[in-house]
Each structure stands twice: as C-alpha cells, then as structure tokens.
Amino acid sequence: MSLGLAVIGLGARGYKTVRDAVDIPEIGLTVGCEPIPDRAQRARDDFGIDVESDWAPVVDRSDIHLVYVATPNDRHDEVACAAMNAGKAVLLQKPMAHSIDACRRIMRVQEETGAFLQIGFECRYSLLYSKAKELVDSGQVGGIRNFQMNYFSSLWHVWLEHPEGWKWLAERSGGLIAEKLSHYIDLFQWYTGSLVNEVDVFAADPVLSYFKTTDTVHVGMRTENAATGVITFSFCRASTAAEDQSEGMDGAGTGYYFDHTLIGEKGSLHLHDARVLDLFLYDCDGETRPYLERRHEFDEDRLKLVHNTHDELADVVRRVIDDEPPSLAPAVAFQVFEVCFAAEESQRRRGPVRLDEWRAAKLKPDQSS
C-alpha cells in the first residue's frame, strides 16, 4: 500500500512533518493545507508538494489515508473530528485540544467511528527517554518514587510569528501546561506505570507582560501508586552558552536549560543537557549513597534524542498500513490532558486538585443537558 498523507497546518511542526515524510518510502503522496501564503509557498518550493488553502476538501479525498493535524490548538477538534468522520486515520499534534470539552468531543467521535487516533507524544519514540524507560523496565533502579524536571527556555521566535500570537493566549492554546508540559506529564506516567490522581500547581505572574497565560510554573503531581513528580518550567532568559543552544527548528538560537531526574528504590537516573544519561545505583550494603554505574552519551541529532517526530510518523504510517492500533491508546492520551486541565484548575484555586473530584465536577453540566 502506498499511503497518502495530508498535513494540515504548515507552521514549524507541520513543515517538519512534511520534511520527515520525504524519508518514509511508504508515503506515496503528501498534500499540505495552509492558509498563510508565505508558509504555503515555502513548502511548495522546498518539497515540491501541492498545498491547498482549505483543508476540508482534502480530508475527503480518496487518495488521503492519514491526516496529520498541526493547526492552532483551538482548531484541533474541528479538523480531527472531520477527518475521523471521513474514515481517515489521524495523527494529532499535542495537545489533544484547547479545552477538556473539545478533548471529549474528539474522544466521542473516535469511539463512534473506531478511527485510528494517535496523539503526537513523540518523546516516547525519542532515544534519550526511550533509554531511560528501558533502564526503568530492566528493574535496575527499582520502582520510580520521584520524578523531577527543570526546563528553562528563552521565548522561541516562532511563538511570536503566529497570527495573534495564539500560543500565548490561554483561550486558544489551552494554557502553558497543556501546550508545553503535556509531553513530560505523559513521560512521568510512562516511567512510573501509574496514572496521576492529584495535581498541585504554583505559578508566578507572567514575567513576559504580553503573555495571556502563565510563563513560569511548578507542577506537582502524585500518582495512584504514590510516586511524586515536580516539573519546573519557565520561558525566562535561559543559559545562552553555545553548547546550551536549542538546536531544533522551533528554537534555534535561543537559550536553553534542561535536566530530568528519576529516583527509584534501588538507584536513580539523571538526564542532562539532552545528551547524557547517568545511571546511579545505591551501595550494596543498604546505604543510600549512590555511585555512578554507567554513563550513556548520545551523539545523534537532538531532535532524535528528545522530539523524534520522524520515527513516530514512520511507526504511525506502518500501523495504518498494517491495520494495527496506535502505540498509545487514545484513552491514555486523553487522561494526560485531564491532568493538564486539572492543573490549570489548581492554579486558579491555588490549591491541590484530585482528578476524580475534578472529573466528576466537570461532567455535571453534560449529565444535566
């Protein structure tokens, strides 16, 4: 089977998806959809593909089998639902949508149609995080009891290029936690093998005055198996040393700092600079003083290390051709965004939120209609 791919939205992520598709032999046709003329022409010039301004006729085409949705977040539900209703497989860029109600609409259509739906959590395909997961699954560090992540980045120029700056408007993006941190909430659950059931968020007033969502946040989480996690993120002026530059097309030339620690019952993992993974084990006599057992250093392209969209797309294409389910069940991905939007509620309340109570409260309007 030669698969036809439609890429809806040719901003930074959509453009990269078209670039990834060029190297995947099973994709026989790629069509782009982009209403902004300069972006559309760039894709035509760089890849020689057809680019339409209107996505709706494209998702109805019989030669299109897979639809990649990379529109602004507040259009995700409209495009994804139309594609699934048209019988297409869908790879949907995170977040699932800009609100929990829009996420529920997507889930209802997926359940009604049985369509293939995978959310773009490409970190699960990435070499650095996959190696960490491999070491966790080996049992060497024991069960993960704590997850800590620090992520600081200068503002990416592409955020400012979007019409109306939609990524920093909470009502369009869904807020910073869904837009930027859903990847890492998913990783926390992946590493621990357990779902988050409580969130507690501390957030400062925006450092960047034009942000209409928070730009500096601490997200505390607890899972059903009592593991805890904290993600600290800020769009501050991060380190600007040459070796700390973000190398992806989204953030080229910006300051960047990243570290990521998993503390287990037998040892710990420390991921830093997005290129080094250290495995520490505790002493055999029962002391908790750790020693460095092994260091993994990675030379691959940074996008392969942390945001491996190429291998994600290749796997999705293979699964669609072979009629296999997505690697991440839609219901599992949906729960990640329940955590994200419950975290936004925690920020508003300035206190902890239990997922079961938040979920029940959010369902009440639907039940009364």
| Spatial CA neighbour of 7 closest among 65, 46, 74 | 65
**Is the pTM value of this prediction over 0.85?**
yes
Q: For the chain, which residues make up each domain, given as ranges?
A: 3-119, 123-307
Mean pLDDT of 168-189: 90
* Closest alpha carbon to 16 in 303, 221, 255: 303
Quote the pLDDT of residue 361: 87
**Mean pLDDT on 141-160:** 81
**pLDDT mean over 301-310:** 86
Look at domain 123-307 and name its CATH class: alpha beta
User: Which of 133-142, 265-274, 286-295, 319-328 has the weakest average pLDDT?
Assistant: 286-295
* pLDDT per residue as tens digits for the range 12-49: 889 999 999 999 999 999 999 999 999 999 999 999 99
- Cα 186 from Cα 193, distance rounded (Å): 10
pLDDT reported for residue 352: 96
Hey, what long-range contacts does 349-353 have (CB within 8 A, 24 or more apart)?
351/200, 352/198, 352/199, 352/200, 352/220, 353/198, 353/199, 353/200
CATH of domain 3-119: 3.40.50.720
Convert the pLDDT of each residue in 247-298 to its tens digit: 554 555 567 778 899 999 999 999 987 789 999 998 766 666 788 899 999 8
pLDDT digits (tens, 9 = 90+) for 338-347: 999 999 999 9
Q: Which residues of 286-297 are buried (b: 16+ CB within 10 A; e: fewer)?
A: eeeebeeeeebe
